[in-house]
């Protein structure tokens, strides 16, 4: 089991810095939800070993390592240590032999694409919004490293969540300023479900399922009640987190790299 509380307890004995501690408590519910999505997709492949890639290593990579022991787990991300931060503290270890260094912003240049083993499941959670390159290019690159019939699971903030709409109505910009460093970039662009589905379709990725959830843990009582009210009384499009499962279609044609 990997419930929110069990995930927090898992790392209680580890020495986490304040940034990592805050990140864990904020995202533990999301990790639990994401793991359930991975389980759902993994059930399509039976008992034999498969290849799984986690793009953007984090606490969740460790959760995958612990639960998919019979599968081959790969990771992809920046190579420099400055990219670790609270989401990926030093106590989280990954298999360096299965790590692939690649800046997804370079997905716009097919000649720079890397060619790791073909994957059956790719997870890319809380990554897309940190890229300044069009998701169309990113999806095309990811499709190129997937087996036909493979799945891509993405998670990303909802650009039109209620709190963003309210801030816009109040005359305030709800979106993050571009940071001055590339080592740990902030949010360049956030998206809506229709935008993501359309761009993935251009890359030969078919939408299997999607859901919008409130799974970022609030630290105040008012925040908790806010999430409950949004979930109970407003359409899902007002919630904070987008989750989509895509499937690579057999007819996908990769970009000519020549």
d(CA 76, CA 74): 7
- pTM over 0.85? The answer is yes
Convert the pLDDT of each residue in 188-220 to its tens digit: 999 999 999 999 999 999 999 999 999 887 778
Q: Does 255 reside within a domain?
A: no
Convert the pLDDT of each residue in 65-121 to its tens digit: 999 999 999 999 987 565 676 788 778 888 889 999 999 999 999 999 999 999 999
- Tally of structural domains, the chain: 1
Q: Does 257 reside within a domain?
A: no
d(CA 189, CA 132): 7
* pLDDT exceeds 90 at position 221: no
Give the domain range for residue 64: 4-248
Q: What is the CATH classification number for the domain harbouring 164?
A: 3.40.50.150
- What's the pLDDT at 249? 85
As to burial, measured by CB atoms within 10 angstroms (0-12 exposed, 13-18 middle, 19+ buried), residue 141 is buried
Mean pLDDT value across residues 39-54: 96
Starting at the earlier edge strand, list the strands of the sheet with 99-101: 99-101, 72-77, 51-55, 119-125, 146-157, 241-248, 205-213
- Check: CB of residue 97 under 8 Å from CB of residue 126: no
Tell me what percent of the residues of the chain surpass a pLDDT of 90: 73
d(CA 121, CA 80): 25
* pLDDT exceeds 50 at position 256: no
């Amino acid at each position: 089991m990997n419930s929110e509380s069990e995930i927090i307890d898992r790392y209680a004995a580890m020495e986490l810095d304040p940034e990592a501690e805050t990140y864990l408590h904020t995202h533990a519910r999301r990790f639990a939800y994401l793991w359930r999505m991975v389980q759902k997709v993994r059930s399509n492949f039976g008992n034999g070993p498969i290849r799984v890639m986690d793009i953007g290593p984090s606490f969740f990579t460790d959760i995958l390592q612990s639960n998919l022991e019979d599968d081959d787990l790969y990771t992809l991300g920046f190579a420099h240590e400055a990219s670790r931060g609270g989401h990926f503290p030093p106590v989280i270890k990954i298999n360096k032999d299965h790590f692939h260094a690649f800046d997804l912003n370079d997905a716009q240049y097919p000649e720079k694409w890397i060619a790791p083993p073909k994957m059956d499941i790719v997870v890319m959670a809380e990554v897309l919004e940190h890229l300044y390159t069009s998701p169309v290019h990113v999806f095309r690159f990811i499709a190129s490293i997937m087996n036909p019939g493979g799945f891509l699971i993405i998670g990303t903030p909802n650009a039109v969540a209620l709190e963003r709409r309210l801030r816009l109505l109040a005359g305030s910009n709800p979106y993050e300023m571009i940071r001055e460093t590339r080592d740990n970039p902030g949010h360049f662009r956030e998206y809506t479900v229709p935008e993501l589905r359309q761009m993935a379709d251009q890359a030969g990725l078919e939408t299997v399922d999607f859901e919008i959830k409130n799974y970022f843990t609030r630290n105040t009582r008012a925040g908790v009640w806010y999430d409950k009210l949004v979930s109970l009384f407003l359409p899902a499009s007002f919630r904070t987190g987008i989750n989509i499962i895509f499937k690579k279609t057999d007819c996908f044609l990769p970009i000519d790299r020549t």
